[in-house]
Amino acid sequence: MAFDVVVIGSANLDLVAQLEHLPKPGQTLLASGYAEHAGGKGLNQAVACARMGAKTAFVGCVGDDDAGRFLRSVLDLEGVDTSLLRSVSEPTGRAFINVDAHGENEIVVILGANSMVGVVDGALDEHLVIPQCKVVLAQLEIPQTTISNAFEQAKKFGATTVLNPAPAATISREIYAVTDIIVPNETETQSLGGVDELRRSGIKTIVVTRGENGAEMITTHGTAVLNEGFAAHLVTPVDTVGAGDAFIGAMCAEIARDVAVSEACKLAVVAGALATTVRGAVPSLPKRAAVLEALNGSK
């Protein structure tokens, strides 16, 4: 079976506390609200792709526990193929998220089962086969050897490989060598040495998301470097959790429709903005009809 997008990544149960302001070191705060949501960058981005109309498959791991069964049911409900979602002995991953009154957040992730994606008995799972698709998307909440293996397979059948380097970490040369598009936010870009350092890695297309300042695409053609900016879609944010995932999911879904990356970014900026108007990661991810309506309304 061929897919538009295959997402290989993390699946977490998000534990979200609403606060007046984010805590300082050593400070204890009382939350004004609390909720539990499906999350993990991989799961979020898979749902984002599916809601944008892409036929999507998810490759990942959850624990054999209630949280894992819940996350699997969320993906199934969204129409994401879960035939390559394994249940393993490690507990399902968790993300502890604090969100302040202005929608800013801080997140602590416990990998749990996500550390076993593409891994069997501590070694690379040589039997993991990435399905035929147009785009393969990954993040850094799973083992890097798994990402490079998935991207190498993707390159063999001509898929576009997209890396969201979150959370920011030292990236192996093997991954850089098989990545077509990298999509960091501003903080991740700085952690990775800046745009010039990313260009030196050999990646031809860099898309930097800049929150309320929109996004920027830097492409390298031989010795020429082209920059294109995408203005933010204006909204009143209540929660920025999931905005980056909405952006990347929308971008990948459009690329799978054979849309140019620059055109895909124009839609993705709107999707990311709309995601900030709803609390929670998965609940905030917009459908394509809503994104198109907002895009057309802003022209």
Indicate the residue type of 58: F
Residue range of the domain that includes 197: 3-21+33-297
Residues with catalytic function? 245
The count of other CB atoms within 10 Å of the CB of residue 267 is: 23
The angle formed by the CA atoms of residues 64, 69 and 70, to the nearest 5 degrees, is 140
Please say if the pLDDT value at position 298 is more than 80: no
Average pLDDT estimate for 188-208: 96
DSSP annotation string for 218-239: EEEETTEEEEEEEPPPP---S-
pLDDT at 185 over 70: yes
* CB 4 within 8 Å of CB 253: yes
Q: Is 58 contained in some domain? A: yes
Q: How confident is the model at residue 1 (pLDDT cuts 50, 70, 90)?
A: low
Q: How confident is the model at residue 299 (pLDDT cuts 50, 70, 90)?
A: low
Q: Per the structure, how many domains does the chain have?
A: 1
Q: In this structure, what token pair is assigned to residue 185? A: 């936010």
28 within some domain: no
Residue at 27 is within a domain: no
Worst-scoring range by mean pLDDT, 31-35, 237-241, 276-280?
237-241
Q: Is residue 26 part of a domain?
A: no
pLDDT of 232: 86
Q: What is the CATH classification number for the domain harbouring 132?
A: 3.40.1190.20
Q: Which amino acid is at 211?
A: G
Query: What's residue 296's pLDDT?
Result: 86
* Predicted confidence (pLDDT) at residue 222 exceeds the cutoff of 90: no
pLDDT in tens, 106-143: 888 899 999 999 999 888 998 899 999 999 999 999 99
* pLDDT tens per residue across span 58-96: 999 999 999 999 999 999 999 999 999 999 999 999 989
Is residue 49 included in any domain, yes or no?
yes
Q: Which residues pair with 3 in a beta bridge?
A: 133
Confidence label for 236 from pLDDT (cuts 50, 70 and 90): confident
The reported pLDDT for the residue numbered 55 is: 98
Residue 236 within a domain? yes
Whether 113 is covered by a domain: the verdict is yes
Over residues 257-272, the pLDDT tens digits come to 999 999 999 999 999 9
Instruction: Give me the percent of the chain exceeding a pLDDT of 90.
Output: 81
Please, what is the average pLDDT of the chain? 94
71 falls within a domain: yes
Q: What predicted TM-score, i.e. pTM, was given to this entire model?
A: 0.92
